[in-house]
Amino acid sequence: MSKKVVEVKTLKVGKYVILDGEASKITSIQTSSPGKHGAAKARVEAVGVFDNQKRSLVKPVDAKIDIPIIDKRAAQVLAIMGSDVQLMDMEDYSTFEVPMPTELRDQLLEGAEVDYIVAMGNKKLMRIK
């Protein structure tokens, strides 16, 4: 599992964070000002990259949190098999299957080049080149 540790105050909207063991994309961050004896807190809202579930987290801004290392790669579509797509990586020529995103169902053709991401052992088809 590839991840690194950062402080909550360094997070930005559009970046990735690990919440409940899932890689999630941050949709909003709100910070509260510190009280007389307290510390500033941040509320992070994110959507899971692979399962599209909303998650939230409230932590002090100086607390540590894990962020996933996202690897963006290119592949070629070998076959379309119902709701799955068989892809071949353009660097090491390995083949694998990923679920087909519903928004790309109409435009996806065999032989097309696509971008996909790898994070925490999961793969997801992102867009057509």
Residues of the chain with pLDDT under 50: none
- My answer on whether 7 and 64 are in the same domain is yes
Reference 117, options 94, 93, 89; nearest CA is 89
pLDDT in tens, 9-31: 999 999 999 998 899 999 999 99
Model confidence, pTM: 0.81
In the three-class reduction of DSSP (H, G, I as helix; E, B as strand; rest coil), residue 17 is classed as: strand
Same domain? 64 vs 77: no
Same domain, 28 and 82: no
Domain that holds residue 83: 71-128
Q: What's residue 1's pLDDT?
A: 54
Q: Looking at the structure, do residues 61 and 11 belong to the same domain, yes or no?
A: yes
Q: Residue 40's closest CA among 65, 14, 8?
A: 8
What separation in angstroms does the CA of 121 have from each of 12, 20, 55, 76, 91?
A: 24, 15, 20, 20, 18
- Looking at 53, 68, 83, the residue that finishes a domain is 68
Considering the domain architecture, whether residues 43 and 95 belong to the same structural domain is answered as no
Q: What is the CATH number of the domain that holds 9?
A: 2.30.30.30
Q: Using CB atoms within 10 A of its CB, is residue 19 exposed (0-12), middle (13-18) or buried (19+)?
A: buried
